[in-house]
Chains A and B, each alone.
Chain A
């Protein structure tokens, strides 16, 4: 491969499978040669996970958009009395899934919601329990480290107790990757001071992994963070993964500015930034098997190209995305399974639908 100028040493490390340092990560963010970054990430991807690209046939269920957190990068959260605020009843949540069940291949749910000011943990749990009991064959992935921290705070239970109840009563099989944002107290202090701190978010993941519950990790970038903070974020995840091995996939979320408070001063990331961030994540997170190109945020064409920049996971059919479409996402709110299969095949890869723990359900050679 043609190493970018001044990057021969890093290329050598990558080809030998050696771990990259913080300094390497920062240098990679200053590399002008996007195709080389892609080639490096693609090389690692191929060696580590072959040509299969994973996706879920899933349905997103967002129980409520009422949220006390008021993160500056969010266009989804509302106050209780705001226009457009909603809080689903058990019956409404079941109806969403029943509608999604029109797709006979629906395999699972992704349940993520706001931090509702009056809902108790029992209330959240009750809805999940109803979903699980009504649709026992659907896998249940849900709740971010932020929600689980919130549940512990409002219920007086420990993180561990919350997780055990979600697992044993609600059928929870895996934890969603959101809420990590940038794991830096400086950034969180400015953007989202009312929710789990960096340490708390990591503690939820650590506790879950100890209980044998796998989780995902993510990074929301392209707002006020520095490139160094991006690298440090990746390193914190890598460190915990060394300790537990419980992270399944890593998701890059570019910040979508539309309709958010922060959007008044921050522009949307460029394609260039999205792809290099994807590639560098693959290179730095050497102990993660899967890297996700989340088409909802990246748009479908960029997500497809991202499959050549280190990604081996393209999320899912989603059924009806709302959180990011409130922030002006221009992608469709759902894809059909056939569309996903076509997108993956066009990129020369093998599509495989999987459950929330990456067990393959169906593979299309």
Chain B
């Protein structure tokens, strides 16, 4: 029997988190036994200029700000080259909404990467960016996606979903795309065989009912398209943002994560976030329904310091997974296991 949003809300409000965790863990075990995956990839943020100015964001700059930047193609290609050399299989290119760059700028970026590095998977651009590209180019979202796919875009990350309830969005990111827009971009992508992930960001002061509404909207679209590979829950990081406030507790995160495993019965992979929760809570997610810990995220300095540090961070990830009594495995974008440890 599928959980209803009402049941989910009731469990989030009054359910026993450990019991939820156990059920979520049982559901995970059925699918994955004791394998836990992660990916070696790199985030490339081609620009920090963004016209959206979301209240929860500490990254964006106005175009005229002294720290504003836009990477050149050469810089981007260099980062991709380093990623490939380190055994990375994917790049996640994301930026702000930079005014005045035509769609051909992105098409050329994708083509150049694929020409030089045909094996790398390009899992890039959030729905927010896609919609913005479309608007700027005067095209439909579907046609924009087709052109980007043609140029080499393999897959869409699920960021920018935050909470898919307009009431919440209007409060925290009024200039960003609204719920229907985000879902529309995903639906268009899935319709042309471009799969994606989905995310949820908790801790904006949203209600449990609103979290369930978010999950329900994604579950419903997944019933229709089947194009979401994974669901990822992050927590809002209040540091250096206009929104501010207290960080969501570990309890809240674990409970919500377990709920996503139970509720999203049609999405195979549930990713635990060590990036927003820290390694310690990240490890614990593996007992509460998560089967994947996402990316080890090759950082600038780490990549530059060559082999050693990078191996360390893969080893660290493997240790973290082993510490939870699971078998670590490196995966690709499509969740195929490519290396075991």
Q: A residues engaging B (CB < 8 A)?
A: 1-2, 32-36, 38-39, 42, 270-273, 275, 299, 301-302, 304-305, 308-309, 343, 346-348
Top 9 closest pairs, chain A to chain B, by CB:
A34-B287, A271-B280, A32-B325, A270-B323, A301-B250, A35-B21, A35-B22, A38-B18, A346-B249
| A80 vs B19: C-alpha distance when bound (angstroms) | 52
Contact residues in B for A32 (Cβ distance below 8 Å)? 34, 325-326
Number of A-B contacts (CB under 8 A): 80
B283 A304 Cβ-Cβ under 8 A: no
* Closest beta carbon of chain A to B38's beta carbon, Å: 16
Interface SS of chain B? helix
A272 B22 Cβ-Cβ under 8 A: no
* Closest beta carbon of chain A to B279's beta carbon, Å: 8
Q: B residues engaging A (CB < 8 A)?
A: 16-19, 21-26, 34, 249-252, 254, 277-281, 283-284, 286-288, 320, 323-326
A301 B278 Cβ-Cβ under 8 A: yes
A270 B25 Cβ-Cβ under 8 A: no
Chain B residue nearest to A43 (CB atoms) is: B18
B280 A343 Cβ-Cβ under 8 A: no
* Closest beta carbon of chain B to A269's beta carbon, Å: 9
Q: Identify 7 new A-B residue pairs, CB closer than 8 A, beyond the known A275-B284, A301-B277.
A: A2-B23, A34-B25, A34-B287, A34-B324, A42-B16, A42-B18, A270-B280
Q: Given A35-B18, A35-B288, A270-B324, is A302 in contact with B283 using a C-beta cutoff of 8 Å?
A: no
B250 interface neighbour in A34, A39, A304, Cβ under 8 Å? A304
A346 B251 Cβ-Cβ under 8 A: yes
* Closest beta carbon of chain B to A312's beta carbon, Å: 14
Q: Given A34-B287, A270-B320, is A304 in contact with B22 using a C-beta cutoff of 8 Å?
A: no
Chain B residue nearest to A269 (CB atoms) is: B323
| A305 vs B284: C-alpha distance when bound (angstroms) | 10
Contact residues in B for A36 (Cβ distance below 8 Å)? 22
Chain A residue nearest to B14 (CB atoms) is: A348
Chain B residue nearest to A279 (CB atoms) is: B18
Chain B residue nearest to A309 (CB atoms) is: B18
Chain A residue nearest to B326 (CB atoms) is: A32
| A304 vs B240: C-alpha distance when bound (angstroms) | 25
Contact residues in A for B18 (Cβ distance below 8 Å)? 35, 38-39, 42, 308-309
B251 interface neighbour in A33, A35, A271, A308, Cβ under 8 Å? A308
Q: Given A32-B325, A33-B287, A38-B18, is A301 in contact with B25 using a C-beta cutoff of 8 Å?
A: no
* Closest beta carbon of chain A to B309's beta carbon, Å: 17
Contact residues in B for A347 (Cβ distance below 8 Å)? 249, 251
B252 A346 Cβ-Cβ under 8 A: yes
B323 A34 Cβ-Cβ under 8 A: no
Contact residues in B for A302 (Cβ distance below 8 Å)? 250, 280-281
B249 A34 Cβ-Cβ under 8 A: no
B26 A2 Cβ-Cβ under 8 A: yes
A301 interface neighbour in B22, B280, B287, Cβ under 8 Å? B280
Contact residues in A for B284 (Cβ distance below 8 Å)? 34, 271-272, 275, 305
B283 A272 Cβ-Cβ under 8 A: yes
Chain B residue nearest to A46 (CB atoms) is: B16
| A348 vs B252: C-alpha distance when bound (angstroms) | 10
What are 28 pairs between A and B in contact, CB < 8 Å? A1-B22, A2-B22, A2-B26, A32-B325, A32-B326, A33-B25, A34-B325, A36-B22, A38-B21, A39-B18, A39-B22, A42-B16, A270-B323, A270-B324, A271-B281, A271-B284, A272-B323, A275-B284, A299-B280, A302-B250, A302-B280, A305-B250, A305-B254, A305-B281, A308-B17, A308-B251, A347-B249, A348-B251
* Closest beta carbon of chain A to B293's beta carbon, Å: 13
| A275 vs B284: C-alpha distance when bound (angstroms) | 9
| A304 vs B281: C-alpha distance when bound (angstroms) | 11
| A211 vs B25: C-alpha distance when bound (angstroms) | 48
* Closest beta carbon of chain B to A57's beta carbon, Å: 21
Contact residues in A for B250 (Cβ distance below 8 Å)? 301-302, 304-305
* Closest beta carbon of chain B to A273's beta carbon, Å: 7
A305 B324 Cβ-Cβ under 8 A: no
| A305 vs B325: C-alpha distance when bound (angstroms) | 19
